[in-house]
Amino acid sequence: MDMSVFDLFKIGIGPSSSHTVGPMVAARRFLLDCAPLDDAAGVTAELYGSLALTGVGHATDKAVILGLMGETPQDVVPTEVDAQLAAAEAAGQLALLGGHTVPFKRGVNLIFHMAESLAEHPNGMRFTLTRTDGSTTSKVYYSVGGGFIREEGEAQQAAPDTTRPALPYPFDTMDQLLSHGQSSGLSIPQMLRANECARLGNEELNAGIDRIWHVMRDCINHGLETPGILPGGLQVKRRAARLWQQAQSNVAPANHLPHDALHQVSLYAMAVNEENAAGGRVVTAPTNGAAGIIPAVLRYYAEDCKPSDPVTGIRDFMLTAAAIGMLCKRNASISGAEVGCQGEVGVACAMAAAGLVAALGGTNLQIENAAEIGIEHHLGMTCDPIGGLVQIPCIERNGMGAVKAITAASLALKGDGTHFVSLDEVIETMRQTGADMQAKYKETSLGGLAIHVITVNHAAC
């Protein structure tokens, strides 16, 4: 498993890891591969499949332009994006990687092929650079979920990097990881820590995890404080701030129910995904569309579970969650365009459930059981965003997914870890279910809620 915790948890920008973060990374990588750019005469970006069908709602067009300008998801300033894009639009040109300028116009240099998909993945894009002598360089990239990209022809599972140190506990399945644990006597977070420390120091690992958590925590807080209308045209109201203020008041509404802790967890998750929908700073966990679940359950752990050592618990949570995400990406997918929302919200739920069990001192078998429950009860979930926006049903799904993660963790902790369906089996089931799912239910906005609601609204008019 040649993945790191920092591959699964990447600081980026909303609203989508596969449609925003990935294309931004791919556009920049293309130009870096083409350097030097002093004789560039023009550049063209073509989007295919899901990237074309939901690209505008997922800000793929903006992401590509920013990537060509040299911006990165982790460093771009969300509040400055609109001004940057407006300036480029007004000038009719782009400064490639912040330097040499070329003419650039949407519709001419940025093209959406909505009726065509490329061979290797639904999220395909082609970049072409033209030089002053008339020669061209063209490359195809795929955004495969969670901000990961792959150039055309690259193996879907890359060969092991022989320049990197061998991992003490290599694994490609949960069965292998459990076997390592049984023979070594170590917990899953301890083994993941050992693997990470084969590549970087323990202090560096802790600092990186802590930074990820701080960005997640700040995202929750900003979402709980920010009202307003989300961009995109659906006029969706941000609800987390109002509901949070209501939850913190001393006056309970008439229909108050005795589940404050879980209600707050759902608000944490919704706050993050409202930030994501607004193009704010978020962490892929493992994707942007499911970015609210893990932060919400982490905050629940830190504040409601009363841990004696929350810092260690949060780090164990993140390492364990990453292990589950690695397995899902390795053996199925975390791309909504490939397997539907079961690969996003379902995987995030499993990651959060496993992480919570680990933080609370559960056994390896209980961790595996919690992750299995988390995915099993999201099997078959479609990705059908209304209007191509990461808003409905995505924001509420994160709130529900966070609550289900806590329920899964509770069920696992109350058992001894033995259960009927293994995590490896349910991941394979998710892969097969995604393969069988019709394309219109996989982040195209051509089926499900995306067309039903629009049809109803048109009928009402």
Residue 156 has pLDDT above 70, yes or no: no
CA 405 to chain centre: 17
Between CA 172 and CA 403 the distance in angstroms is 28
% pLDDT > 90, the chain: 90
Q: What are the b/e assignments for 205-239, b being 16+ CB within 10 Å?
A: beebbeebbebbbebbebbbeeeeebbbebebebb
In this predicted structure, what is the pLDDT of residue 259? 64
Cβ 245 vs Cβ 271: under 8 Å: no
Between CA 290 and CA 298 the distance in angstroms is 14
In this predicted structure, what is the pLDDT of residue 275? 97
Contacts of 408 (CB under 8 A, 6+ apart): 349, 350, 353, 370, 371, 373, 374, 377
In this predicted structure, what is the pLDDT of residue 457? 46
Cβ 124 vs Cβ 48: under 8 Å: yes
In this predicted structure, what is the pLDDT of residue 155? 62
Residue 362 has pLDDT above 80, yes or no: yes
Between CA 215 and CA 323 the distance in angstroms is 20
Which helix (H) or strand (E) covers residue 137, if one does? Answer: strand 136-145
Contacts of 135 (CB under 8 A, 6+ apart): none
Choice among 114-118, 249-253, 312-316 with the minimum mean pLDDT: 249-253
Between CA 461 and CA 455 the distance in angstroms is 10
Domain spans of the chain, in order of start: 19-143, 174-248+258-453
- State the pLDDT confidence band at 161, using cuts at 50, 70 and 90: low
Contacts of 403 (CB under 8 A, 6+ apart): 262, 265, 266
Higher pLDDT, 284 or 247: 284
Between CA 161 and CA 40 the distance in angstroms is 33
Choice among 148-157, 158-167, 394-403, 433-442 with the minimum mean pLDDT: 158-167
In this predicted structure, what is the pLDDT of residue 458? 37
Cβ 142 vs Cβ 120: under 8 Å: yes
In this predicted structure, what is the pLDDT of residue 461? 32
pLDDT in tens, 372-427: 999 999 999 999 999 999 999 999 999 999 999 999 999 999 999 999 999 999 99
pLDDT in tens, 53-85: 999 999 999 999 999 999 999 999 999 999 999
Between CA 380 and CA 431 the distance in angstroms is 10
Between CA 249 and CA 254 the distance in angstroms is 13
> Among residues 414, 167, 185, 145, which one has the least CA distance to residue 285?
145
Between CA 219 and CA 64 the distance in angstroms is 24
- Options 3.40.190.80, 3.30.1330.90, 3.30.1490.20, 3.40.50.300; CATH for 19-143 is 3.30.1330.90
Choice among 25-29, 165-169, 294-298 with the minimum mean pLDDT: 165-169
In this predicted structure, what is the pLDDT of residue 165? 85
pTM: 0.93
